[in-house]
Structures are given as C-alpha cells and as structure tokens.
Chain A
Amino acid sequence: MNLNKKKIVGWLFFLIAIGLFCIQMGYFFLQSRYGMEYSDNRIFYVINIIIFVSMFFSIFLLLTVTNKWKMIIGSILVILVLLLVGLLINHSSKINHIVSISPDLKHVFVIKENTETGQSTYYRTYYGIFARPKENLPYKTNGEFKVKWLEKDIAALTYKAADNKIHQYIGTYGDRNGGSSYSYVGPSIQGKWEVGNMRIISASEGITIDNNGEIERYDWGNIVQFGTIAVVLMKNNEAQWTIGLNENFKSNSNEPIPPLVKLPYIKQPWIIISQ
C-alpha cells in the first residue's frame, strides 16, 4: 500500500470512528430526551467495538508508531474488545431480543423480554435502528417466541405465556382504505368470506368461523384488535385465529348485503382478508 492510499484509508477509519462516536452520543441524547433505545441493545456494544477497531487502525495508518507502541496499542485493543464482548454476552442473558425485519425491509418488529421478570415489551422502531417502548405484553412470557410476517406490514408474534397458554401479539405498521375511513377491523370486514371449506362471517354480534362444519363463535369481547389492520380471536383466554387485512383490502361494509368473497388462501391459524 503506498503512502497516499494508506493515509486515505487511515482517514476513512478515523471518520468512521468519529461518525459512530457521534451516533453513540446522539443515542444518549435521544435516550435522555425521548426515551429512545437501540432496536437491539447489543447494537451499543457492537458500535463501540467498531469504534475501537477503527480508532486503532487509524492510529496505525496515520501515525508513525514504533513496534513497541504497536504491541501496547494492539494489546489494549484486544483487551477492550474482549471486555465489550463479555459485556454484550452478559447483557444478552438479561434481555432477550426478538427482532424481525419485514419482507420489504421497511419495518422492524421488536420485542424485548426481561428474562428475570418475564416482562416483555413491544417497541415501535424509528429508522430501523432506534426504538421506543410502546406496550407491555399482557402476559408474562417464558422466552418462547415466534414471529411471522402475515403481510408486509403485519407481524404476528406467537408466544407462550407463563400460564402455558398460547397468545398472539400483532405488530402493525400500516393502514387500509387510505387510512381515513375505518379504525375497527371487525365492522370493516362485515360480510362473509370463504376459503375452501371454511367460512368467516363477521356480523354485528361478532365473528363466526365455520371450519368444515365446526362452528366457533367469537363475540366482540373475545376479539382483540391490533393497530387498524388485524384482530386476534380468543377462546378461553387463548389465541385461536388471527385475521389480518391484505394490503389490497377494500371494505364493503357500506353495502347493504355484503357479497360472499372468496379468499385465495389461508394458512391456519392466520387468515388474510383480501379483495
């Protein structure tokens, strides 16, 4: 590497170190001012490691360092990195992160679980990297989580609560019908929907699922809405079905007799209503 190239790369590392350092300081500002956190707390340690590595590379490339100092600086780098890795592992044991990125890479679904208390919190993310706590999950969790993106903007988290029952939490990142007309999923899907041998009937008294002759009725008290595009049907305090609205969904609830609409597919226990 000639001297010029060496300098350029050195400055590049130096700038990376400064840039990331500014992000870290900005994080503390956002944390104290707005209660922001990293989407994944471990990002804090990873950024620190990158800063250290960049700093030390920039020293080697920009300054003339004797072999003795190279040894000393190299050893300090190794110690600091190991220390940070240790802290990262320690932090991971205390907080379980469930982070999932949407298929179109636009949204990040974040849940952080305090492994000591079983308290889990859903985070709303900002720019992917930052997040703010939005809602505590209603049940204590035991570390078993599964995330599935039903749509580009609907993430379904299935988790086992401490009472051993299966629950669902739905993260939604969008709206339907232009976002203006409907806020309640149940009424907006009023009508009959059919897929294979299964019928979903949303009427004024609740939602009925006729699954090949097995009829289950859910009144509104057992239907939990998430955002404006998904509901979970509960039975005995346990999630049974999740109904989400497809991005092309158009409500026909204003029609006097909503037509029977055939749905293209269903993957139990998730139903996507589309039209």
Chain B
Amino acid sequence: MKNIIIGTICIMLVGITVATYFFEKHPELTTPGRSQPIEEQDTQEFEPPQPSPFLPIYEDNSIGYSLQNDQLQITFNKGDDWSIVPIEKEKLFAGEYNGNAQELIENSYILTQNRAAFLYSEGNSIKLKYSLNQGETWEDSVVTAQYPTIRFRKVNFLNESFGYVIISGDRTMSQEWTTVYITNDGGKQWRETNHSNVTRLIYDGGFVDENTGFLSFGILNPIEPDLYVTQDGGNSWSKANVMIPEKYHEIFVMSEVPFKEENHLAVYINQGPNGDYEGGKVKGKFTSNDNGKTWEFSMEVLPNESE
C-alpha cells in the first residue's frame, strides 16, 4: 500500500511539474489575442480608428479650430496644443444647414484670444458654450430653452459684457421667425428682445453699440434692402429708410451689417445672389448721420475695398 501511495504521488508530482512547465512555456494558449481560435467570429483584427492629422482652419495666425474626427478642437498657438470643445459636432450644425460640416457655420462662433464661444442646438434649446481662458474651462449658457428648427444663427460680442445672438427658425417656404437675444453679463444670461414682426428670411444682423442694432431681411430675389433698426437695445424696431439713387434701383438690394465709421454709421449694400451690375461684385456704400434711421448713398466700392 505504501508503495502505491508513494508511486501515485510521484506520478502526480511529475505530471504537475510537466503541466506547469507546459503552461508557462506556451502562453499563447492562454493569452487573449494571441493565436487562439475565436469561436463564432471571423478573426479580423480590429484597430481603433486612427486619428488623422488635423487640418486646422485658422482665424488668424495662431488661433484656429479643427473638426477632424468629428470633434471640435481649438488651438491658440498655431496647432501646437489643442483643446477639445465639449460639444458633439452635429449639435453645431443642427437645424436647417446643408453645408458639408467641414467648417463651422459662419458667425455661429467666436474665436479670439479672450473668448471662444460656440452657438449650438441641444434638443429644443439653443445654447452657447464659451470659454474665457482659451479652452481650459467651459461654461454653458442657455440662450433660449425652446426654439423651433433653427436656420440662421449668429453670435457676437462688442465688448466683455455686451453680446448678441440672432437666430431664425420655424421656416415655412419664405417665411420664418427671427429672434434677437442680448446679454449684458458676458454671456451668462440672455434676454429676448422685442420682435421686429418681420417674417421674411433674415440675411444678416448685428449691433454697433449696446443700443443700436440692425436686422437685414430678404435673401430670395430681393428688389430693395429691407433693413430694420433699433435704437433702444431691441425694445422697438423700425424700418430704416435707405435712399437708393434711381440709378441703383434693384441693383443694391441686400444690406450687410452697418458699422461705425468716424462720427457716423456706414453700411455696404450688395447686389444679392443674382446681381450683374459691373460684374455683380460692386457694392454701394451708404452712410447715416442719425444712428441708422436714414441712409444716403455715398459711393460705389469694389469688393476688396469693403472687406
């Protein structure tokens, strides 16, 4: 009996020693991803999507953004460092937008040394994500909690505290709803201004100071500029009187956003999408001495002069 026990134990000792040696020497049999057969699955190798090199779009020499890999990232040092903007890409292009989504929608963002801000749509609300420290931290503010499908969108700040958002939505054919929101605390809180009651499609808009703002309507075959002005921070809007010389009737038809020049206001009025006067690119410069209520023709300008 003694011999049987000792014999069995010896066999087991040898067996386990050999087994352990084999187990250690052939890690491929027990290591995931080595040469094991995979049950019920083709053994194709999955690779995580490799990030492609950034193709940045620069706002100026050093500030730029990239939408590569469906992720918005910004740089403030010519692309040496990138910080991720925590917004899903499609939220930046939500609503009526038919572009290729390779570049951000013009005017829907601000990218300067002191402020990075992106207008986006989440659910039914329109929000602004902004950073005042070059992307280190991000704030979110709700411009409006409820808004129909958005079309036009624009955000801008005139100084550290005053900014405006112009959005339009709920378009039916050539009619839509345009709303202007302003902030006086750097974008934390937004206040809806009174409505201009114009339902034509908006072309552009903007403020030249905290009280004086403009909305320019008409993008489908316009025959004359349709410019509205407020001089009380959006409480009331009235149609501006743009005095177009007879010679330029139905030529200068779409008003751009007015701007301050010396001691008066000035605006370029372009020929719209179908203009063919002098090649179609020439614009009319108009000036106003009553803060935007009436506009007089000043001169024709070539496109590069107006930029």
Contact = CB atoms under 8 A, between A and B. Distances in A.
Nearest to B33: A119
A41 interface: yes
Interface string A124-137: 10000000111111
A35 B37 contact: yes
A28 B123 CA distance: 57
A215 B123 contact: yes
B27 A94 contact: yes
Contacts of B40: 134-135
Given A24-B16, A51-B12, A84-B20, A58 B30 contact: no
Interface of A is mostly: mixed
B194 interface: no
| Range of interface residues on A (Cβ < 8 Å) | 35 or more
Contacts, number: 110
A139 B48 contact: yes
A94 B27 CA distance: 10
Contact of A136 (B33, B48, B123, B124): B33
A134 B46 contact: no
B101 to A, nearest CB: 13
A117 B37 contact: no
Contacts of B23: 44
A104 interface: no
Contacts of A163: 48-49
A114 B33 contact: yes
Contacts of B33: 114, 117, 119-121, 136
B48 A119 contact: no
B38 interface: yes
A248 B32 CA distance: 35
Interface in A13-71: 14, 17-18, 21, 24-25, 28, 31, 35, 37, 41, 44, 48, 51-52, 55, 58-59, 62-63
Given A24-B19, A63-B2, A215-B123, A236 B31 contact: no
Q: Which of B12, B24, B46 has the most CB of A within 10 A?
A: B12
Interface in B68-104: 70-71, 88-89
Determine which residue in B6, B23, B24, B29 has the highest number of CB atoms from chain A within 10 A of its CB, and name it.
B23
A273 B12 CA distance: 53
A133 B48 contact: no
Interface in A132-189: 132-140, 161-163
A48 B20 contact: yes
B16 A28 contact: no
A37 B123 contact: no
A29 B23 CA distance: 13
User: Which one of B27, B33, B46 has the highest number of Cβ atoms from chain A below 10 Å of its Cβ?
Assistant: B33
A134 B34 contact: no
Contact of A55 (B12, B89, B122): B12
A135 B48 contact: no
A73 to B, nearest CB: 10
A140 B33 CA distance: 11
B5 A59 contact: yes
Given A63-B5, A214-B122, A95 B16 contact: no
Pairs A-B, 7 closest by C-beta atoms: A119-B33, A121-B32, A214-B123, A138-B46, A112-B32, A114-B32, A21-B12
Given A62-B5, A163-B49, 5 more contacts: A18-B8, A51-B16, A87-B20, A134-B38, A136-B41
Interface of A: 14, 17-18, 21, 24-25, 28, 31, 35, 37, 41, 44, 48, 51-52, 55, 58-59, 62-63, 84, 87, 94-95, 112-114, 117, 119-121, 124, 132-140, 161-163, 213-215, 235-237
